[in-house]
Amino acid sequence: MALRRCWRFSGVVPRLIWSRTVLLGASLPGGRSLESSLDSLTRPGCKTAELLLRRFTSGPPSTDVSYDQLKQLLAGRKSVVIDVREPWELREYGFIPGSVNVPLGQVNTALQLLPEEFKEKYGGEMPQQTDNIVFTCLAGIRSKTALDTAASLGYNDVQHYPGGWQDWVKNEQHS
Protein backbone atom coordinates (compact mmCIF):
# COMPACT_ATOMS: atom_id res chain seq x y z
CA MET A 1 0.00 0.00 0.00
CA ALA A 2 2.73 2.47 0.98
CA LEU A 3 4.72 1.65 -2.14
CA ARG A 4 1.67 2.14 -4.30
CA ARG A 5 1.04 5.53 -2.61
CA CYS A 6 4.66 6.59 -3.25
CA TRP A 7 4.56 5.42 -6.85
CA ARG A 8 1.33 7.30 -7.54
CA PHE A 9 3.03 10.61 -6.69
CA SER A 10 6.45 9.89 -8.17
CA GLY A 11 5.72 11.91 -11.27
CA VAL A 12 4.38 14.90 -9.34
CA VAL A 13 7.62 16.17 -7.81
CA PRO A 14 9.66 16.29 -11.05
CA ARG A 15 6.83 18.04 -12.88
CA LEU A 16 6.51 20.59 -10.09
CA ILE A 17 10.21 21.26 -10.02
CA TRP A 18 10.79 21.55 -13.74
CA SER A 19 7.59 22.95 -15.20
CA ARG A 20 6.41 25.96 -13.20
CA THR A 21 5.86 27.51 -9.82
CA VAL A 22 2.91 26.01 -7.98
CA LEU A 23 1.06 28.06 -5.39
CA LEU A 24 0.41 26.37 -2.07
CA GLY A 25 -3.26 25.42 -1.83
CA ALA A 26 -3.44 24.76 -5.57
CA SER A 27 -5.03 21.53 -6.76
CA LEU A 28 -3.18 18.86 -8.67
CA PRO A 29 -4.75 16.58 -11.28
CA GLY A 30 -7.30 14.32 -9.61
CA GLY A 31 -8.30 17.01 -7.10
CA ARG A 32 -5.43 16.33 -4.69
CA SER A 33 -3.71 19.24 -2.99
CA LEU A 34 0.03 19.77 -3.27
CA GLU A 35 0.40 19.54 0.50
CA SER A 36 -1.29 16.13 0.75
CA SER A 37 0.74 14.81 -2.17
CA LEU A 38 4.02 15.89 -0.61
CA ASP A 39 2.93 14.53 2.78
CA SER A 40 2.34 11.15 1.18
CA LEU A 41 5.78 11.24 -0.38
CA THR A 42 7.50 11.99 2.90
CA ARG A 43 6.00 9.11 4.90
CA PRO A 44 8.51 6.71 6.44
CA GLY A 45 9.45 3.90 4.09
CA CYS A 46 8.73 5.83 0.90
CA LYS A 47 11.94 5.11 -0.98
CA THR A 48 10.62 6.65 -4.20
CA ALA A 49 10.42 10.08 -2.58
CA GLU A 50 13.87 9.70 -1.09
CA LEU A 51 15.35 8.81 -4.49
CA LEU A 52 13.49 11.63 -6.25
CA LEU A 53 14.59 14.24 -3.75
CA ARG A 54 18.18 13.02 -3.85
CA ARG A 55 18.11 13.04 -7.66
CA PHE A 56 16.88 16.63 -7.86
CA THR A 57 19.31 18.23 -5.44
CA SER A 58 21.24 21.14 -6.88
CA GLY A 59 24.76 19.73 -6.60
CA PRO A 60 27.27 17.73 -4.67
CA PRO A 61 27.18 17.97 -0.87
CA SER A 62 30.45 19.89 -0.60
CA THR A 63 31.87 22.02 -3.36
CA ASP A 64 34.54 23.76 -1.29
CA VAL A 65 38.21 22.77 -1.54
CA SER A 66 40.69 23.66 1.19
CA TYR A 67 44.27 24.77 0.61
CA ASP A 68 45.60 21.31 1.55
CA GLN A 69 43.11 19.55 -0.73
CA LEU A 70 44.03 21.85 -3.62
CA LYS A 71 47.75 21.19 -3.08
CA GLN A 72 47.06 17.43 -3.23
CA LEU A 73 44.94 17.76 -6.37
CA LEU A 74 47.65 19.81 -8.10
CA ALA A 75 50.42 17.43 -7.03
CA GLY A 76 48.50 14.41 -8.30
CA ARG A 77 47.31 16.23 -11.41
CA LYS A 78 43.82 14.99 -10.62
CA SER A 79 42.02 18.25 -11.37
CA VAL A 80 41.85 21.08 -13.82
CA VAL A 81 42.30 24.30 -11.84
CA ILE A 82 40.76 27.32 -13.56
CA ASP A 83 41.51 30.82 -12.28
CA VAL A 84 38.65 33.12 -13.29
CA ARG A 85 40.38 36.44 -12.56
CA GLU A 86 41.26 38.88 -15.31
CA PRO A 87 44.73 38.47 -16.91
CA TRP A 88 45.97 41.76 -15.43
CA GLU A 89 45.18 40.43 -11.93
CA LEU A 90 47.40 37.41 -12.51
CA ARG A 91 50.21 39.64 -13.76
CA GLU A 92 49.78 42.04 -10.84
CA TYR A 93 49.30 39.60 -7.95
CA GLY A 94 50.41 36.19 -9.19
CA PHE A 95 48.70 32.87 -9.84
CA ILE A 96 48.51 29.32 -8.58
CA PRO A 97 51.06 27.23 -10.50
CA GLY A 98 49.34 24.76 -12.81
CA SER A 99 46.12 26.77 -13.13
CA VAL A 100 44.56 27.84 -16.43
CA ASN A 101 43.30 31.43 -16.73
CA VAL A 102 39.75 31.73 -18.09
CA PRO A 103 38.22 35.09 -17.06
CA LEU A 104 34.79 34.74 -15.47
CA GLY A 105 33.03 36.49 -18.35
CA GLN A 106 34.38 33.85 -20.73
CA VAL A 107 33.73 30.68 -18.68
CA ASN A 108 30.38 29.86 -20.30
CA THR A 109 31.73 30.18 -23.84
CA ALA A 110 35.10 28.58 -23.03
CA LEU A 111 33.55 25.41 -21.64
CA GLN A 112 31.62 24.97 -24.88
CA LEU A 113 34.61 25.30 -27.22
CA LEU A 114 36.24 22.42 -29.04
CA PRO A 115 39.24 21.09 -27.08
CA GLU A 116 41.76 22.39 -29.63
CA GLU A 117 40.16 25.86 -29.60
CA PHE A 118 40.25 25.91 -25.79
CA LYS A 119 43.93 24.93 -25.75
CA GLU A 120 44.83 27.54 -28.35
CA LYS A 121 42.96 30.35 -26.58
CA TYR A 122 43.74 29.51 -22.94
CA GLY A 123 46.96 27.51 -23.12
CA GLY A 124 45.72 24.50 -21.19
CA GLU A 125 43.77 21.30 -21.63
CA MET A 126 40.03 21.70 -21.82
CA PRO A 127 38.28 19.80 -19.03
CA GLN A 128 35.93 17.02 -20.01
CA GLN A 129 32.46 16.86 -18.47
CA THR A 130 33.62 14.06 -16.18
CA ASP A 131 36.86 15.76 -15.05
CA ASN A 132 37.23 17.34 -11.63
CA ILE A 133 37.39 21.11 -12.05
CA VAL A 134 38.37 23.51 -9.28
CA PHE A 135 37.63 27.18 -9.85
CA THR A 136 39.60 29.87 -8.05
CA CYS A 137 39.74 33.67 -8.03
CA LEU A 138 40.93 36.35 -5.61
CA ALA A 139 38.64 35.67 -2.64
CA GLY A 140 36.12 32.97 -3.65
CA ILE A 141 33.21 34.99 -4.99
CA ARG A 142 33.78 34.77 -8.74
CA SER A 143 34.88 31.14 -8.44
CA LYS A 144 31.48 30.24 -6.96
CA THR A 145 29.77 31.90 -9.91
CA ALA A 146 32.00 29.96 -12.31
CA LEU A 147 31.15 26.72 -10.48
CA ASP A 148 27.44 27.41 -10.96
CA THR A 149 28.00 28.14 -14.65
CA ALA A 150 29.93 24.89 -15.20
CA ALA A 151 27.29 22.89 -13.33
CA SER A 152 24.58 24.40 -15.54
CA LEU A 153 26.56 23.22 -18.59
CA GLY A 154 26.56 19.62 -17.33
CA TYR A 155 29.92 19.43 -15.59
CA ASN A 156 29.38 17.04 -12.69
CA ASP A 157 32.52 17.22 -10.57
CA VAL A 158 32.99 20.95 -9.99
CA GLN A 159 34.38 22.65 -6.91
CA HIS A 160 35.82 25.98 -5.92
CA TYR A 161 38.57 27.22 -3.66
CA PRO A 162 36.75 29.76 -1.47
CA GLY A 163 39.93 31.26 -0.06
CA GLY A 164 41.20 32.07 -3.53
CA TRP A 165 44.54 33.69 -4.26
CA GLN A 166 44.54 35.52 -0.91
CA ASP A 167 44.37 32.25 1.05
CA TRP A 168 46.89 30.58 -1.27
CA VAL A 169 49.51 33.28 -0.70
CA LYS A 170 48.96 33.26 3.07
CA ASN A 171 49.40 29.47 3.23
CA GLU A 172 52.38 29.42 0.88
CA GLN A 173 54.20 31.95 3.08
CA HIS A 174 53.76 29.65 6.08
CA SER A 175 55.01 26.57 4.21
Query: What is the rounded average pLDDT of the residues 6-31?
Result: 44
Q: How far apart are CA 128 and CA 156, in angstroms?
A: 10
Among 52, 137, 138, 158, which one carries the catalytic annotation?
137
Query: What is the rounded average pLDDT of the residues 109-113?
Result: 96
pLDDT value of residue 77: 85
Neighbours of 109 (CB within 10 A): 11
**What pTM was estimated for this model as a whole?**
0.66
Query: What is the rounded average pLDDT of the residues 29-41?
Result: 49
Q: What is the mean pLDDT of the chain?
A: 77
Q: How confident is the model at residue 174 (pLDDT cuts 50, 70, 90)?
A: confident
Q: How far apart are CA 100 and CA 83, in angstroms?
A: 6
Q: How far apart are CA 62 and CA 47, in angstroms?
A: 24
Q: Is the pLDDT of residue 101 over 60?
A: yes
Neighbours of 21 (CB within 10 A): 6
132 strand-pairing partners: 157
The rounded Cα 36 to chain-centroid distance in angstroms is: 32
pLDDT value of residue 49: 41
The rounded Cα 71 to chain-centroid distance in angstroms is: 20
Distance between first and last Cα of the chain: 61
Has 6 been annotated as catalytic? no
Domains contained in the chain, CATH given: 2-55 (no CATH), 67-174 (3.40.250.10)
pLDDT value of residue 30: 57
